[in-house]
Amino acid sequence: MRRTLKTALAAALGLVLSASLVVVLSGQAHADEPTSLVALHSGKCVAVVGGSTSDGAEIGQWPCDGDTNQMWDLREVGNGYVQVVAQHSGKCLDVAGRSTADGARVLQWSCHSGPNQQWQLRDASNGQVSVVARHSGKCLDVSGRSGEDGARMQQWSCHGGTNQMFGFDRDGEGGNNNPALPGLYADPNVAFFEDRFWIYPTTDGFDGWSGTQFKAFSSPDLVNWTDHGVILDLGEDISWADRNAWAPTIAERDGKYYFYFSGGKASGDTRKNLGVAVADSPAGPFRDALGRPLVSAGSFGGQMIDPAVFTDDDGQPYLYWGQGYAYQVPLNGDMVSFDRAKVERYRPSGYNEAAFVFKRDGRYYFLWSENDTRSENYQVAYATGPSPIGPWSRKQVILRKDLSLGIKGTGHCSVVQVPGRDEWYIVYHRFAIPNGDGTHRETAIDRLEFNADGTIRPVTPTLQGIDPVHR
């Protein structure tokens, strides 16, 4: 399991992080256990390429697997410096040719007393360290900020980028738990059914968000996810839509699962509609419940997208949706109809899309996304109210980008409670890291915490994600 740097350092290596930016060794000459070095931007581990034991073997990043060519001993050499020694070869992390230039390769070499094999671990103040070569003052750096397997290590002038930050993971099993789902998935809707957590996202990575397939993922602990494959495919399964499979939500009633989604046509009237499909299992397969949209384009102002369903403790379900405006209405008991006369419009300042409602301690929370999903400023704000349909009182933005970590475009969230506990998680998308944008997004999970007065604390978006939830 991934561990935070400070915990891992203290426990595994006997190191103490000083109040200054420099790591001070506790006086132990040797770390008692090897550790992996996890690149923050990629979640991949620093490894001796090919498991070579030769002098000059290159160092790259690779998915963490705990093999000995990914495990390193940190040996104190005095004055706050360490040698970083590959467990499988006994050789040292070394700047090739003792170069002081940007871009000089980092290799393994038989250990000697040269300063190009001595490194200082500097606290990067976000739970990570930069690894600085003594002879050059330059930082260990993943070339080109690459997220690819095998990307090589070099030294580069220290700039504080996430490809120069590393965490320690003593058991070597892996680095970051964000993104939570592997691949490009946006608009995640989280739920808890049949003793598991489920996420229903938009399948992302298509120009114009033109994907057609919805998938489901389930997990016992919010970290280890099973891909259940395609549960609904517009075009094949839906007569009135053949693209723009966007932003679904799900609700259970009387043993049936109702899946609400947006869809449009590739030609003709391309405006989006809201549909509803039904299945006997949260993993589908789902079939169109109505054979027509539940909410057709043009029925109300704005786009008919981004549905969310909240079911109150008395069993009454409510449907929310809309881009431009938010709409809210009680759903009928059949889950596939509502009284149009009861539809209410809500438009808090900053509202764009992606309404989501949950309840805690008798208080209702209405979350939404602000700005455009293509903007790095896409963010989440919220209001509270005394009922599932308000009246709502706008609070503040709780989730936004963190450029120091390369996290952008944090929005379209949903929230889940660990059953029986006052423990909450927010599931949201962000631009994929690296190189993502508004159509290449990935799903992340972080803690959602509350103040004593019930207000939501600003969420810290992380690259590390959460530890597995034990129930």
Q: Which residues are catalytic?
A: 187, 353
The residue among 169 and 187 lying less far from ligand FUB, judged by its C-beta, is 187
Distance of CA 13 to the CA centre of its chain: 29
The residue among 23 and 294 lying less far from ligand FUB, judged by its C-beta, is 294
**Shortest Å, Cβ 277 to ligand FUB:** 17
Which residues make beta-bridge pairs with 320? 308, 328
**What does the block give as tokens for 166?**
């590393």
The residue among 118 and 373 lying less far from ligand FUB, judged by its C-beta, is 373
**What does the block give as tokens for 249?**
């939500």
Whether 427 and 180 have beta carbons less than 8 Å apart is answered as yes
The residue among 305 and 448 lying less far from ligand FUB, judged by its C-beta, is 305
For the chain, how far is it from start to end, CA to CA, in angstroms? 17
Pick the closest to residue 26 from 12, 13, 38, 40 (CA basis).
Answer: 13
**Shortest Å, Cβ 272 to ligand FUB:** 8
Buried b / exposed e along 59-94 (16+ C-beta atoms within 10 A): bbbbebeebebbbbbbbbbeebbbbbbbbbbebbbb
**Shortest Å, Cβ 380 to ligand FUB:** 11
The residue among 342 and 345 lying less far from ligand FUB, judged by its C-beta, is 345
How many angstroms separate the CA atoms of 260 and 359, rounded?
20
- Binding footprint of ligand FUB on the chain (CB under 6 A): 186-187, 202, 209, 246-247, 262, 305-306, 353-354, 373, 412
Residues 6+ apart with CB under 8 A from 254: none
Residue with token string 């399991």 = 1
**Shortest Å, Cβ 409 to ligand FUB:** 9
The residue among 71 and 413 lying less far from ligand FUB, judged by its C-beta, is 413
The residue among 187 and 376 lying less far from ligand FUB, judged by its C-beta, is 187
Whether 432 and 442 have beta carbons less than 8 Å apart is answered as yes
